[in-house]
């Protein structure tokens, strides 16, 4: 349970305040309602590149990081397919520095050519480090366009290809900023050793005179219902075979989302989970297996993946994974097993509330989903799920015609030791 | 009119007072430290064992033993243990580090009495079943194959191998080493290592009298020593000789670079000052290495340096992954930064910035009672106490440009580093 109060500035900026005076720190979290799904198909990777540019100086403050470090603060940011989230933690005595820095970069950036040039390179190196220079690093560069044909989830946050980033121009950057970075497209959460009145004063002082910008309604193409199984097989420079099966599932605020999330927990969360037990521990069939949901706002993917042991061929491996899904569809699960994954949800929520930053991020995210108050209803939604919900949703999701299967075959090769 | 070009006034960062634990020693020799946070619903119980090396330096055995702890007892199978822990929403995590092996339980207060007996069983009656060991070996060999395709992993491996040789800190996993693991050795290690006299228990959260009574019943009265106090033994390290090791990888897009040397650890009086200089040099986002190699040159997504403290030594390390074409240029820039650090005094402004950054981040690491326990742990096993942090803050607050230069000239020497490159090197730089 997270307590908070809220107000909205005339320019549309929503501000949430969560007081916790057991800490000496404050945290300022600003979520911009823009992610990779808002990019043009021929300019992908932009929301993320843009996140890097937000640290390249703003209109009145040439350097973002230094003044913050000078007051003992730290910051970072992340971009997903749905949102871009920036956060600062700092000693609460210096809270105003965070308002000064964040308001200036919401007002306008410096748009420095040098910064664009360097960050293009940095992001290209990030692309290589995470996606290209790793065995299986390109899974999501392949799986997304296999599973999504119309919706912009068909490309990864990093972008479709290096070229899109290399070709980004200053003109693109400015257009992106003025389209998406606006007080009326953002949620600010201030948490920790702060008071509501103090935050209200500071918000009025630093943010109130940033003009609202025209907000376009988001009109993303709906992903059409998948009607036939999809499949991609690659022979790659990887040491062992690997399989990924992705299924379409409900979006984040759909009532069935918690059911799908629990489905993935039943399959693979913790060492007593079903597929871990059946395929890794009880019989030597896979070296690793995993199931998880993407957690996207729009209709999601739930993924089952595994690396079979050398003596298990791929057709057999695939059958073994499907067999576990058939069991979920055909047999009503026991209450105790469901209770187990619910108990884990409950303790995980307590964990997630240990840090003020996590609390702030959660409030901001749920506010973008519709209402920060939804956060406090989350556990109850999970606890209300029944075994028949599980079976029903398993039957809806785990259908061959709803699946996209990606298989990596290890190329025969000599390994230099 | 609001002047946005002027920063708001700054306020001094206060030192934080760390929570002093209550200490209890049980009759069986178990030392217990208690960190209380009465409003928290979550309890952490951390059983920490000193790693025992009796003649052998085979640290892979310790890694395996720690993973295998949960894989079966005289009365519970691996499945039953997993089921019981998961059912109560608890987490039970074995963890191996260079000097200690720990078993950590997280549980909601209300479920503690259901999960503590499982932990007791594991610490008293673990059996290391052969079938589970086979699974461990099989899966780890497969994971190793994958890791060996990663330049960063190869570089790290070469780094530790060259730095620490055949000692416990230098042992790296190989397929052969996995195959040599066996149940007898595991049981022997378990007998020598997992008993109250070799254990420190750190309890944090809402530790009520009732919780303490439960802990005492299980881990004092019903936990006996199985072994005489064992010798931990000191490792012998190879003589360090700076050298360059290059492993060419035909298809590499990036080179993994790792540089470093053995150095002082936390017990050395210079350690806080060394941490200061390291922060300035490569220890945070605004460091000189990050500014130069990422923010000015764009050679990498990230570069960082650290001074790591181990029980018997310490080591300095710099790590990055850079585009293959920038490999040589990156090394040249790193060398330049060493020269500047040693030969040119830092500005007052930079010193002030690093001071505030460090003081703020100490404050920021404290999120809950668990963080207080972590701070304590980080000094306790070096024979230090929480006054270390008072001294640390004092040293950080008083650092001068001259101090930085003195430390730089004592501990930062590019010509005395082990240099590992996995990927592609531009030959003219070697």
Nearest to A344 among B8, B41, B89 (CB): B89
- pLDDT above 50 for A415: no
- Are residues A343 and B87, on separate chains, in Cβ contact within 8 Å? yes
CA distance A102 to chain B (A): 11
Tell me which chain A residues have a C-beta less than 8 angstroms from the C-beta of B2.
205-206, 209
Cα distance between residue B347 and residue B365, in whole Å: 27
Non-local (6+) Cβ contacts of A350 within 8 A are B41, B42, B108
**Phi, psi for residue B90 in degrees, rounded to 5:** -90, 170
- Are residues A271 and B90, on separate chains, in Cβ contact within 8 Å? no
Tell me which chain A residues have a C-beta less than 8 angstroms from the C-beta of B8.
94, 96-97, 99-100
Residue pointed to by tokens 């079938």: B131
CB–CB of A367/A14 below 8 Å? yes
As given in the structure block, the two tokens for residue B377 are 């742990």
* B370 occurs within a structural domain: yes
Beta-sheet strand order (sheet of A84-91): A5-8, A14-19, A186-192, A25-32, A84-91, A74-79
As given in the structure block, the two tokens for residue B213 are 């009574």
Instruction: Average the pLDDT over A80-88 and give the result.
Output: 97
Nearest to A91 among B254, B360, B368 (CB): B360
* B286 occurs within a structural domain: yes
ipTM of the complex: 0.87
**Phi, psi for residue A272 in degrees, rounded to 5:** -100, 5
The full 3-state SS of chain B, as one line of letters, equals: CCCCCCCCCCCCCCCCCCCCCEEEECCCCCEEEEEECCCCCEEEEEEEEECCCCCCCCHHHHHHHHHHHHHEECCCEHHHHHHHHHHCCCEEEEEECCCEEEEEEEEEHHHHHHHHHHHHHHHHHECCCHHHHHHHHHHHHHHHHHHCCCHHHHHHHHHHHHHHCCCCCCCCCCHHHHHCCCHHHHHHHHHHHCCHHHEEEEEEECCCHHHHHHHHHHHHHCCCCCCCCCCCCCCCCCCCCCCEEEEECCCCCEEEEEEEEEECCCCCCCHHHHHHHHHHHHHCCCCHHHHHHHHHCCCEEEEEEEEEECCCCEEEEEEEEEEHHHHHHHHHHHHHHHHHHHHCCCCHHHHHHHHHHHHHHHHHHCCCHHHHHHHHHHHHCCCCCCHHHHHHHHHHHCCCHHHHHHHHHHHCCHHHCEEEEEECCCHHHC
Give which of A314, A116, A98, A111 is closest to A190, Cα–Cα: A98
CA distance B296 to chain A (A): 6
- pLDDT above 60 for A254: yes
> What is the sign, positive or negative, of the torsion defined by CA atoms of B73, B78, B79, B84?
positive
The answer to whether residues B274 and B169 belong to one domain is no
- Are residues A351 and B150, on separate chains, in Cβ contact within 8 Å? no
Pick among B298, B347, B397 to test the A interface (most A CBs inside 10 A): B298
CA distance B23 to chain A (A): 24
Instruction: Average the pLDDT over A250-254 and give the result.
Output: 97
The answer to whether residues B322 and B415 belong to one domain is yes
- Are residues A272 and B70, on separate chains, in Cβ contact within 8 Å? no
The answer to whether residues B368 and B403 belong to one domain is yes
Beta strands A186-192; A230-236: pairing state? unpaired
- CA angle centred on B331, ends B325 and B336, rounded to 5°: 130
Tell me which chain A residues have a C-beta less than 8 angstroms from the C-beta of B296.
118
The answer to whether residues B199 and B271 belong to one domain is no
Nearest to A69 among B4, B299, B356 (CB): B356
Which stretch of DSSP H or E encloses residue A6?
A: strand A5-8
Cα distance between residue B196 and residue A37, in whole Å: 55
Name the residue in chain B with its Cα closest to that of A102: B4
The answer to whether residues B417 and B361 belong to one domain is yes
Which stretch of DSSP H or E encloses residue A160?
A: none
Name the residue in chain B with its Cα closest to that of A310: B142
Non-local (6+) Cβ contacts of A52 within 8 A are A119, A122, A123
**Phi, psi for residue B32 in degrees, rounded to 5:** -120, 130
- Are residues B357 and A288, on separate chains, in Cβ contact within 8 Å? no
Please give the pLDDT value at position A414: 46
* B383 occurs within a structural domain: yes
Please give the pLDDT value at position B229: 64
Cα distance between residue B275 and residue B352, in whole Å: 15
* B15 occurs within a structural domain: no
Cα distance between residue A341 and residue A387, in whole Å: 12
Please give the pLDDT value at position B366: 87
Cα distance between residue A357 and residue B371, in whole Å: 15
Please give the pLDDT value at position B428: 46
Name the residue in chain A with its Cα closest to that of B352: A70
* B343 occurs within a structural domain: yes
- Are residues A347 and B297, on separate chains, in Cβ contact within 8 Å? no
Q: Alpha carbon B222 to chain centroid distance?
A: 32
Report DSSP letters for A344-369, one per residue: HHHHHHHHHTSSHHHHHHHHHHHHHH
- pLDDT above 80 for A417: no
Please give the pLDDT value at position B232: 66
Tell me which chain B residues have a C-beta less than 8 angstroms from the C-beta of A91.
11, 13-14, 360, 363-364
By CB atoms closer than 10 A (0-12, 13-18, 19+), residue A25 is: buried
CB–CB of A45/A238 below 8 Å? no
Which alpha helices (H) appear in A75-226, and where do they start and end?
Answer: 95-107, 113-127, 139-147, 162-166, 170-180, 196-207
Tell me which chain A residues have a C-beta less than 8 angstroms from the C-beta of B87.
272, 336, 339-340, 343
Map residue A266 onto helix, strand or coil.
helix
Please tell me what DSSP assigns to residue A58.
Answer: B
CA distance A344 to chain B (A): 4
Nearest to B359 among A59, A72, A355 (CB): A72
Backbone region of residue A11 per phi and psi (left: phi > 0; alpha: psi in -120 to 50; beta: other values): alpha
The answer to whether residues B115 and B254 belong to one domain is no
Local mean pLDDT, 10-residue blocks, chain B (430 residues)? 93 88 96 94 96 88 96 96 96 95 96 97 97 95 92 96 94 94 96 95 96 96 79 84 93 93 97 98 96 93 96 97 94 97 96 94 89 96 95 96 98 97 70
Tell me which chain B residues have a C-beta less than 8 angstroms from the C-beta of A99.
8
Map residue A228 onto helix, strand or coil.
coil
CA distance B53 to chain A (A): 29
Name the residue in chain A with its Cα closest to that of B296: A118
* B263 occurs within a structural domain: yes
Q: How many other C-beta atoms lie within 10 A of the C-beta of residue B221?
A: 11
A270 at B interface, C-beta within 8 A: yes
Encode A387-396: b = buried (16+ Cβ within 10 Å), e = exposed.
eebbbebbeb
Beta strands A242-249; A403-410: pairing state? antiparallel
Encode B379-397: b = buried (16+ Cβ within 10 Å), e = exposed.
bbbbeeebebbeebbebbe
Nearest to B363 among A91, A129, A130 (CB): A91
> Could you tell me what percent of chain A has a pLDDT over 70?
99
Pairwise pLDDT comparison (B185 vs A1), residue with the higher score:
B185
Name B95's bridge partners.
Answer: B102
Tell me which chain B residues have a C-beta less than 8 angstroms from the C-beta of A271.
70, 78, 82, 86
Predicted confidence (pLDDT) per residue in A51-80, tens digit: 999 998 999 999 999 999 999 999 999 999
A214 at B interface, C-beta within 8 A: no
Nearest to B364 among A89, A122, A272 (CB): A89
Name A79's bridge partners.
Answer: A84
The answer to whether residues B285 and B378 belong to one domain is yes
- Are residues B294 and A284, on separate chains, in Cβ contact within 8 Å? no
Residue pointed to by tokens 């085979």: B58
CA distance A218 to chain B (A): 32
Cα distance between residue B95 and residue B262, in whole Å: 24
Tell me which chain A residues have a C-beta less than 8 angstroms from the C-beta of B10.
70-71, 94, 97
Beta strands B300-309; B244-248: pairing state? unpaired
CA distance A165 to chain B (A): 14
Name the residue in chain A with its Cα closest to that of B137: A287
Looking at B206, B221, B236, which one is the last position of a domain? B221
The answer to whether residues B264 and B399 belong to one domain is yes
A65 at B interface, C-beta within 8 A: yes
Looking at B190, B221, B252, which one is the last position of a domain? B221
Name the residue in chain A with its Cα closest to that of B141: A287
Please give the pLDDT value at position A337: 96
The answer to whether residues B262 and B307 belong to one domain is yes
A356 at B interface, C-beta within 8 A: yes
User: What predicted TM-score, i.e. pTM, was given to this entire model?
Assistant: 0.92
CB–CB of A273/A406 below 8 Å? no
- Are residues A129 and B284, on separate chains, in Cβ contact within 8 Å? no
* B282 occurs within a structural domain: yes
- Are residues A287 and B88, on separate chains, in Cβ contact within 8 Å? no
Cα distance between residue B196 and residue B177, in whole Å: 30
CA distance B359 to chain A (A): 6
The answer to whether residues B203 and B303 belong to one domain is no
Nearest to B321 among A103, A129, A415 (CB): A129
Give the domains, in start order, of chain A with CATH numbers. Answer: 5-207 (3.30.830.10), 230-410 (3.30.830.10)
Cα distance between residue A106 and residue A185, in whole Å: 10
CATH number of residue B50's parent domain: 3.30.830.10
Tell me which chain A residues have a C-beta less than 8 angstroms from the C-beta of B90.
347
Non-local (6+) Cβ contacts of B181 within 8 A are B60, B61, B64, B133, B136, B137
Tell me which chain B residues have a C-beta less than 8 angstroms from the C-beta of A25.
363-364, 366
A73 at B interface, C-beta within 8 A: yes
**Which residues constitute the domain of residue B85?**
22-221
* B72 occurs within a structural domain: yes
Estimate the share of chain A in helix, then strand, then coil, as percent rounded to the nearest 5. 45, 20, 35
Pick among B17, B68, B89, B247 to test the A interface (most A CBs inside 10 A): B89
- Looking at the structure of chain B, the number of domains it has is 2
The answer to whether residues B287 and B165 belong to one domain is no
Map residue A169 onto helix, strand or coil.
coil
Tell me which chain A residues have a C-beta less than 8 angstroms from the C-beta of B352.
70
CA distance A191 to chain B (A): 13
Please give the pLDDT value at position B426: 64
The answer to whether residues B251 and B217 belong to one domain is no
Tell me which chain B residues have a C-beta less than 8 angstroms from the C-beta of A310.
142
Please give the pLDDT value at position B230: 64
Cα distance between residue A20 and residue A85, in whole Å: 21
Instruction: Average the pLDDT over A188-199 and give the result.
Output: 98
Q: CA A187, A193, A199, A203: dihedral to nearest 10 degrees? A: -60
Cα distance between residue A368 and residue A221, in whole Å: 20
Give which of A256, A300, A293, A291 is closest to A273, Cα–Cα: A291
Tell me which chain A residues have a C-beta less than 8 angstroms from the C-beta of B12.
93
Please give the pLDDT value at position B14: 83
Encode B326-365: b = buried (16+ Cβ within 10 Å), e = exposed.
bbbbbbebbeebbeebbeeebeeebbebbbbbbbbbbbbe
- Count interface pairs A-B at CB distance under 8 A: 216
Pairwise pLDDT comparison (A411 vs A138), residue with the higher score:
A138
Non-local (6+) Cβ contacts of A139 within 8 A are A244, A406
Tell me which chain B residues have a C-beta less than 8 angstroms from the C-beta of A120.
298
């Amino acid at each position: 349970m997270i307590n908070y109060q809220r107000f909205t500035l005339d320019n549309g900026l929503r501000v949430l305040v969560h007081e916790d005076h057991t800490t000496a720190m404050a945290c300022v979290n600003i979520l911009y309602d823009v992610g990779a799904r808002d990019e043009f198909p021929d300019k992908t990777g932009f929301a993320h590149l843009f996140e890097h540019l937000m640290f390249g100086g703003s209109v009145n403050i040439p350097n973002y990081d230094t003044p913050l470090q000078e007051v003992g603060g730290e910051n970072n940011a992340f971009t997903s397919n749905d949102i871009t989230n920036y956060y600062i933690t700092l000693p609460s005595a210096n809270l105003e520095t965070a308002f000064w820095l964040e308001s200036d970069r919401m007002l306008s950036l410096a748009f420095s050519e040098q910064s664009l040039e360097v960050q293009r390179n940095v992001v290209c190196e990030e692309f290589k480090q995470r996606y290209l220079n790793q065995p299986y690093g390109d899974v999501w560069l392949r799986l997304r366009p296999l599973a999504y044909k119309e919706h912009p989830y068909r490309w990864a946050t990093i972008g479709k290809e290096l070229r899109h980033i290399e070709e980004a121009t200053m003109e693109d950057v400015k257009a992106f900023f003025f389209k998406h970075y606006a007080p009326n497209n953002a949620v600010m959460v201030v948490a920790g050793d702060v008071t509501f009145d103090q935050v209200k004063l500071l918000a009025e002082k630093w943010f109130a005179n940033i003009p609202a910008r025209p907000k376009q309604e988001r009109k993303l193409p709906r992903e059409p219902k998948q009607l036939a199984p999809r499949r991609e097989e690659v022979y790659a420079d990887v040491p062992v075979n690997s399989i990924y099966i992705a299924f379409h599932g409900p979006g984040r605020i759909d009532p069935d989302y918690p059911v799908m999330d629990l489905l993935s927990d039943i399959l693979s969360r913790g060492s007593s989970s079903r597929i871990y037990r059946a395929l890794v521990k009880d019989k030597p069939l896979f070296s690793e297996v995993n199931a998880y949901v993407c957690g996207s706002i729009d209709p999601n993917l739930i993924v089952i993946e595994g690396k079979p042991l050398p003596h298990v061929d791929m057709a057999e491996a695939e059958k073994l994974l499907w067999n576990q899904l058939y069991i979920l569809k055909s047999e009503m699960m026991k209450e105790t097993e469901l209770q187990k994954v619910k108990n884990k949800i409950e303790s995980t929520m307590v964990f997630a509330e240990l840090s003020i930053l996590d609390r702030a991020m959660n409030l901001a995210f749920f506010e973008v989903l519709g209402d920060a108050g939804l956060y406090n209803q989350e556990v109850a939604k999970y606890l209300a799920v029944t075994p028949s919900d599980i079976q029903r949703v398993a039957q809806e999701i785990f259908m061959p015609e709803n699946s996209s299967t990606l298989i990596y075959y290890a190329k025969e090769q000599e390994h230099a030791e | 009119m609001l002047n946005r070009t002027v920063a708001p006034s700054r306020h001094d960062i206060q030192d934080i007072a760390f929570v002093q634990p209550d200490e209890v020693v049980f009759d069986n020799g178990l030392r217990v430290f208690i960190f209380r946070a009465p409003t928290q619903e979550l309890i952490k119980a951390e059983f920490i064992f000193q790693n025992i090396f009796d003649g052998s330096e085979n640290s892979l055995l310790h890694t395996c033993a720690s993973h295998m702890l949960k894989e079966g007892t005289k009365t519970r199978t691996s499945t039953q243990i997993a089921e019981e822990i998961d059912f109560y929403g608890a987490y039970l995590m074995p963890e191996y580090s260079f000097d200690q092996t720990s078993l950590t339980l997280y549980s909601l207060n209300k479920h503690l009495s259901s999960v503590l007996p499982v932990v007791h069983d594991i610490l008293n009656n673990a059996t290391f079943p052969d079938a589970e060991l086979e699974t461990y070996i099989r899966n780890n060999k497969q994971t190793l194959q994958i890791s060996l395709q990663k330049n960063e992993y190869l570089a790290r491996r070469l780094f530790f191998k060259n730095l620490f040789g055949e000692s416990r800190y230098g042992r790296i996993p190989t397929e052969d080493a996995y195959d040599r693991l066996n149940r007898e050795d595991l049981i022997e290690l378990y007998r020598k290592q997992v008993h109250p006299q070799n254990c420190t228990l750190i309890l944090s959260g809402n530790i009520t009298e009732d919780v303490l009574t439960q802990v005492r019943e299980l881990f004092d009265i019903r936990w006996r020593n199985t072994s005489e106090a064992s010798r931990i033994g000191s490792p012998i390290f190879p003589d360090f000789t700076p050298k360059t090791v290059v492993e060419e990888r035909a298809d590499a897009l990036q080179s993994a670079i790792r540089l470093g040397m053995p150095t002082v650890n936390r017990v050395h009086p210079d350690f806080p000052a060394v941490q200061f200089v390291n922060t300035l040099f490569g220890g945070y986002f605004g460091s000189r290495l990050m500014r130069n190699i990422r923010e000015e040159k764009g050679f990498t997504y990230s570069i960082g340096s650290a001074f790591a403290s181990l029980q018997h030594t310490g080591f300095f390390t710099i790590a990055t992954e850079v585009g293959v074409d920038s490999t040589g240029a990156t090394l040249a820039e790193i060398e330049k930064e060493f020269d500047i650090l040693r030969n040119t005094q830092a500005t007052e402004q930079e010193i002030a910035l690093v001071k505030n950054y460090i003081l703020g981040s100490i404050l920021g690491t404290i999120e809950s009672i668990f963080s207080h326990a972590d701070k304590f742990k980080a000094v306790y096993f070096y024979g230090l106490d929480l006054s270390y942090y008072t001294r640390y803050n004092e040293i950080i607050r008083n650092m001068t440009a001259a101090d930085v230069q003195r430390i730089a000239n004592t501990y930062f020497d590019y010509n005395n580093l082990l240099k590992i490159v996995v990927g592609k090197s531009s030959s003219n730089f070697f």
